[in-house]
Amino acid sequence: MHLLAAAPADALASAPADVLASAPAGLLAAAPVDPNLALTLKVLPALVVILIAAGVCGRLARMVGQPRVLGEMVAGVLLGPTLFGAVWPDAQEEVFPDEVVPTLYIVSTIGLTLYMFLVGAGLDHGARTPGEGKRASVLALSGILPSLVLGFAVGAMLWGTLSRDDVGRWQFALFVGGALSLTAFPMLARILYERGLENSQLGRLSLLAASIDDAAAWCLLAVLSAWHLGTGSGSALRTIALAAVFAAVMLLVVARALRPLGREVARTGTLSATALYIVVIVPLTAGWITDWIGVYSVFGGFIAGLAMPRDRAFREALHARMMGVVSTLLLPVFFAFSGLNTELGGITGVTLVLAFLAIMAAGFCGKYFGCALAMRGLGFGWRDSYAVGGLMNARGLMILIFINIGLAQGMITRELFAMLVLVAVITTAGAVPLYRLALPERLERDLVPEEKEPAAQPA
């Protein structure tokens, strides 16, 4: 109630002009100017707009047979300079002023880290089949190497057209190849959850292979950043070594320490307040550590999820308490924050259109056919193989994170950035249609584990 007290005249006179301008007129007359309140009054409307846009676009996506996550991704892009900022720039600036962006970044990072934590915790370790790790590694390599090689070739060919003057041919080519080798790990997880397939054999192989793909791509980005920024190879090797040590400690030490927590939840059937504090602190701490190491916090969250107790009762209780809030409130902020940094107006002229088509073809063929042929070689049928190829081909916002870092560090131009954004949108939009073409619903039903049917969607 102290905020409603009358403000001294000298306090108002000395307040910064931008703070005064941002505060509602009624508050200026009746309350002291509080910078935290002023920021809150800007952040809350931004969150409301984000959630409305995500809800509407997610609903539209489901109506046309696409996963809700694609609609949320498109909503984020539309809220940025691509549409909202182009059609109504004053309103876009009012809803998303510069001082709000850091807060959105924090919320989006927390949301994505917790979501990937829930993905890792939701994997049914008991459903693991003999040789699954080996098959996932083969699938991961088949998704990385062809895309990396084709992307490298196209990047080397387009270096004179798309590269900055201060970036060498091989560095530029490696960046393009690394970006195309990514799989949309969070989006793949979301698609599988919406279809109830995360614990099917195909779903588990896809998730594990995608996690390996993305981890390898982030290690490559660490090498490229060290190369471009002149910090040397030692910095990249340090990042890779620390990431390996972190994963080992989480899966061997922390996982063992958390086993009593799983037994308690199995006994009581619910997460107590103390248990909930623990399961939130662990992934946030893991994300902080991996960010400090130099690997994006999403992997810290995922590894923390893998370290959680393996009891089915624990998984069900955890998802019941957290999944709805994380996927509905926090995750759309991640999409919106990325969309605010995305502008699709950089592709103009015949030369750039042809360059985009070459990049798109390299990314699609390398991932789709590479993964499909690998699955066939592992003994799966052609339908299952092409279904996994379609899912693994989605790039989603992982590539947007990758290229945003490249743009911020001066490794790529805005023209290449726009092309790779389009690659992300198109490959993600094509993932479910390609999957359904290979595996119609009558065949998909045989893949769904008995413990979870497709109707039980987390988001």
Look at 168 and 200; give whichever has higher pLDDT: 168
Rounded to whole angstroms, how far apart are CA atoms 314 and 187?
24
pLDDT of res. 128:
58
Rounded to whole angstroms, how far apart are CA atoms 117 and 211?
13
Mean pLDDT check: name the lowest of 2-16, 147-161, 318-332: 2-16
Identity at 406, one-letter amino acid code: G
* Dihedral sign from CA coordinates of 396, 287, 199, 179: positive
Look at 224 and 41; give whichever has higher pLDDT: 41
Residue whose tokens read 């084709």: 150
Rounded to whole angstroms, how far apart are CA atoms 256 and 29?
58
| CA distance from start to end of the chain | 38
Please, which pLDDT band fits residue 459 given cuts at 50, 70 and 90? Answer: very low
How far, CA to CA in Å, does 209 sit from each of 21, 197, 198, 206, 241? Answer: 51, 15, 13, 5, 20
pLDDT of res. 20:
46
Instruction: Indicate the CATH number of 98-447 among 3.40.50.360, 1.20.1530.20, 1.10.3080.10, 1.10.357.10.
Output: 1.20.1530.20
pLDDT of res. 125:
57
| Span 103-139, pLDDT tens digits | 998 898 898 889 888 878 876 655 556 677 788 889 9
Are residues 132 and 205 in contact, defined by beta-carbon separation less than 8 angstroms? yes
Instruction: Please give the DSSP secondary-structure letter assigned to residue 160.
Output: H
Tokens of 206: 């896809």
Flag whether pLDDT at 69 surpasses 60. yes
Identity at 177, one-letter amino acid code: G
User: How many separate helices (H) and strands (E) can be counted in the chain?
Assistant: 24, 0
| Span 210-221, pLDDT tens digits | 878 877 887 787
Mean of all residue pLDDT scores within the chain: 81
| Span 236-289, pLDDT tens digits | 678 778 888 998 999 999 999 999 998 888 888 888 888 999 999 999 999 999
Please, which pLDDT band fits residue 447 given cuts at 50, 70 and 90? Answer: low
Tokens of 10: 């000298």
Rounded to whole angstroms, how far apart are CA atoms 217 and 144?
8
Look at 51 and 21; give whichever has higher pLDDT: 51
Rounded to whole angstroms, how far apart are CA atoms 160 and 165?
9
Are residues 193 and 452 in contact, defined by beta-carbon separation less than 8 angstroms? no
pLDDT of res. 364:
94
| Span 354-410, pLDDT tens digits | 999 999 999 999 999 999 999 999 888 899 899 999 989 888 767 877 887 788 778
Please, which pLDDT band fits residue 229 given cuts at 50, 70 and 90? Answer: low
pLDDT of res. 344:
72
Q: Report which secondary-structure segment, H or E, holds 42.
A: helix 35-63
pLDDT of res. 429:
87
Rounded to whole angstroms, how far apart are CA atoms 197 and 200?
5
Whole-prediction pTM:
0.73
Rounded to whole angstroms, how far apart are CA atoms 201 and 205?
6
Rounded to whole angstroms, how far apart are CA atoms 223 and 170?
13
pLDDT of res. 452:
43
Tokens of 66: 């696409």
pLDDT of res. 454:
41
List the one residue out of 369, 458, 365, 359 whose CA is nearest residue 418. 359
Flag whether pLDDT at 53 surpasses 80. yes
Identity at 2, one-letter amino acid code: H
| Span 406-440, pLDDT tens digits | 887 788 888 888 889 889 889 988 988 898 898 88
pLDDT of res. 445:
66
Mean pLDDT of 183-207: 77
